[in-house]
Amino acid sequence: MNPPIHRNPITAVESPAVGVTIDGLTKNFGPFQALKNVSFAVEPGEIFVLMGPSGSGKSVLLKHIVGLEAATAGRVLINDQDAAAAHTLERIRIALVFQAGALFNSLSVYDNLALYPREHRFGDEATIRDKVMRALQILSLENSAQKFPSELSGGMRKRVAIARALVMEPQLMLYDEPTSELDPVMSATISEIIATLKDEYHVTTIVVSHDRELALGIADRVGILMGGELVFLGPPASLRQPADPRIADFFHPRIDLKNPRFKNLET
Amino acid sequence: MKQLTHFLQGFGSAVQLLLQSARFIGTLPRQRARFIDQCYLIGYTTLPIVAILCFFMGSVLALQSGYSMENFGAKQFIGSLVGLSFARELGPVIVAILVAGRVGSAITAELASMKVYQEVDALVTMNIPPARILVLPRLAAVLVMMPVLAIIGNLIGWFGGAVVCKYVESIAIEPEAYFSALRRYMKFQDVGTGLIKAEIFGFVVVLICCSIGLNTRGGPREIGASVTKAVVVSLISILVLDYFVTKALM
């Protein structure tokens, strides 16, 4: 079967969507093993949500995909090219939306978005302006172009980060906790944006999140990491009544207020 | 042993950063705006402190040498002493120390905060090498601005000495006599030696500060620790290099 066609949200140019293969990935930080022989594949054009408790290795895995961390063992392949190789970022456009946005504080929203096309010389200033304004428009940020990141709310910062990623015309979008620290309305908005980008443009998407609603709402498939191991891989529907007690505890935590751990809550 | 490992790691990453930056020299004309920004920060904003410090260093040098040289009846040589001391040693060292304290600390704080708040990681994922846009314009700017600061520092230091010589009664040397002595015993080579030293010190300071900033890991507390480390390492490097460069240029 042919891979779905990725349509660029900014230029509308079409190209095959990319797939990602994680093959026996292991990462040690000193004696601590953050990832233990993790293997799975993300199909071209799908939304894959990677979940797990804090410290389970989700963000570390994401950093391996974009080449920010080097694996202790195993490898990450993007369209059969090693993600750790320097040329991969030159051949495949990968955008990572960081948890806190990682916007450049000294640049305005417009310049944050324009940095990538300017540095890679994607046309003259007028072309770049069109691209940037189109991305701002998709995220309903046209009126914030001249603002600085310090003047934006948490939700707007996330949207600017997504807009900056869109300007890169990515074939692979990675989101690190896109709905953390946001109110429910803004979380739903961000989830909708992620789903819309996938539905309309077939951008292969990997989302790292704690957010159950987001996973069940937008994911094509879900992976769950616990203690650096992949303990679940499958469609989100099978998470509604999980058989594995560890996953059931993660999705439907039972908090016993009589437990001595919570004695301070009772008083 | 641990200290030695840290030193070698720091030295290695500074050299690596220098080599990475050198690969992008061809992009400098496209980075004109960043280069000019850095020239402004390194040169223009440091100038007032350089002026004040060099004026008073020149004054104190003239005052102290006037006091001691009077015993030998050699007051007329104060001009050459202040001139040579400033051109060959004090000018470049003072300017480098000020650049380390004022500019170097600011560079480390900015880059360390960019690193801690993942702005540097964002650049890497955008396939924009940090060495190209964060380091190269700063290194180029310091190479241009250090000789300018050192020349201005020298002139103001010499002027400070002349003011003291004229207005302090125990010295009482006219500016004409002071500058005549300064000219008579100084060669262009002395000023040139000082400018080479200033270039080397400034370049090393900015490289160290960039390297320490970009290697910061952790949170906001580590930003402060990196700034302190960058200033201390820069000051030690200036003084250690001063000996070896002076020896090499003699």
Give the span between the Cα atoms of A202 and A45, in whole angstroms.
5
Give the span between the Cα atoms of A39 and A26, in whole angstroms.
10
Q: How many CA atoms within 13 Å lie on the side-chain side of B165?
A: 31
Chain B touched by A104 (CB under 8 Å): yes
Task: Note whether A102 contacts B119, CB cutoff 8 Å.
Answer: yes
Chain A touched by B219 (CB under 8 Å): no
What are the phi and psi torsion angles at B127 (to 5°)? 60, 35
pLDDT of residue A267: 46
pLDDT digits (tens, 9 = 90+) for B210-234: 999 999 998 889 999 999 999 999 9
pLDDT digits (tens, 9 = 90+) for A15-28: 778 899 999 999 99
Under the banding of pLDDT at 50, 70 and 90, the label for residue B67 is: confident
Helices (H) and strands (E) in chain B, counts: 12, 0
Output the CA torsion sign for A213, A216, A222, A227.
positive
Least confident piece of the model among A6-10, B151-155, B182-186, B242-246: A6-10
Task: Note whether A98 contacts B128, CB cutoff 8 Å.
Answer: no
Q: C-alpha distances in angstroms, A10 versus A200, B30, B152?
A: 12, 25, 51
Least confident piece of the model among A3-7, A114-118, B243-247: A3-7
Output the CA torsion sign for B229, B234, B237, B239.
negative
Is there a contact between A56 and A33 (Cβ–Cβ < 8 Å)?
A: no
Q: What is the ipTM of this complex?
A: 0.85
Task: Note whether B128 contacts A90, CB cutoff 8 Å.
Answer: no
Strands (E) in chain A, as ranges, are 5-7, 14-16, 20-29, 32-42, 47-51, 73-78, 81-82, 94-97, 172-176, 204-208, 221-226, 229-234
Is there a contact between A197 and A216 (Cβ–Cβ < 8 Å)?
A: no
Under the banding of pLDDT at 50, 70 and 90, the label for residue B21 is: very high
Task: Note whether B125 contacts A94, CB cutoff 8 Å.
Answer: yes
Suggest the residue from B24, B28, B124, B127 to mutate for an interface test with chain A (most A CBs closer than 10 A): B127
pLDDT of residue A261: 62
Q: Which residue among B122, B127, B133 places its CB closest to the CB of A98?
A: B122
Mean pLDDT in residue range B39-61: 95
Mean pLDDT value across chain A: 87
Task: Confirm or reject CATH 3.10.690.10 for domain A5-238, answering yes or no.
Answer: no
Could you count the other beta carbons within 10 Å of the beta carbon of residue A76?
22
> Looking at the domain assignment, is residue B27 inside a domain?
no
Closest chain B C-alpha to A174 CA, distance in angstroms: 11
Chain A touched by B127 (CB under 8 Å): yes
Radius of gyration over alpha carbons of chain B, in Å? 21
Comparing A2 with A102, the larger pLDDT belongs to A102
pLDDT of residue A86: 78
> Looking at the domain assignment, is residue B25 inside a domain?
no
Mapped onto helix, strand or coil, the DSSP state of residue A22 is strand
**Residue A6 pLDDT > 90, yes or no?**
no
Q: Which amino acid is at B217?
A: R
> Looking at the domain assignment, is residue B181 inside a domain?
yes
Instruction: Give the total number of structural domains in chain B.
Output: 1
pLDDT of residue A249: 82
Q: Which residue among B125, B128, B133 places its CB closest to the CB of A96?
A: B125
Output the CA torsion sign for B192, B193, B196, B197.
negative
Under the banding of pLDDT at 50, 70 and 90, the label for residue A2 is: low
Instruction: Out of A94-103, A172-181, B104-113, B166-175, give the one with best mean pLDDT.
Output: B104-113
Mean pLDDT value across chain B: 93
First to last CA, chain B: 35
pLDDT of residue A109: 96
Task: Note whether B126 contacts A100, CB cutoff 8 Å.
Answer: no
Mean pLDDT in residue range A63-77: 92
> Looking at the domain assignment, is residue B186 inside a domain?
yes
Mean pLDDT in residue range A167-193: 87
Is there a contact between B116 and A102 (Cβ–Cβ < 8 Å)?
A: no
Chain B touched by A89 (CB under 8 Å): yes
Mean pLDDT in residue range B80-91: 93
pLDDT digits (tens, 9 = 90+) for B53-65: 999 999 999 999 9
Chain A touched by B122 (CB under 8 Å): yes
Chain B touched by A90 (CB under 8 Å): yes
- Chain A 28-67, CB below 8 Å of chain B: which residues? 63, 66-67
Tokens of B69: 């040289």
Task: Note whether A98 contacts B121, CB cutoff 8 Å.
Answer: yes
Suggest the residue from A98, A122, A174 to mutate for an interface test with chain B (most B CBs closer than 10 A): A98
Taking the domains of chain A in order of start, what are their residue ranges?
Answer: 5-238
Reported residue count of chain B is: 250
pLDDT of residue A97: 93
Under the banding of pLDDT at 50, 70 and 90, the label for residue B7 is: confident
Q: Which domain holds residue B181?
A: 34-249
> Looking at the domain assignment, is residue B219 inside a domain?
yes
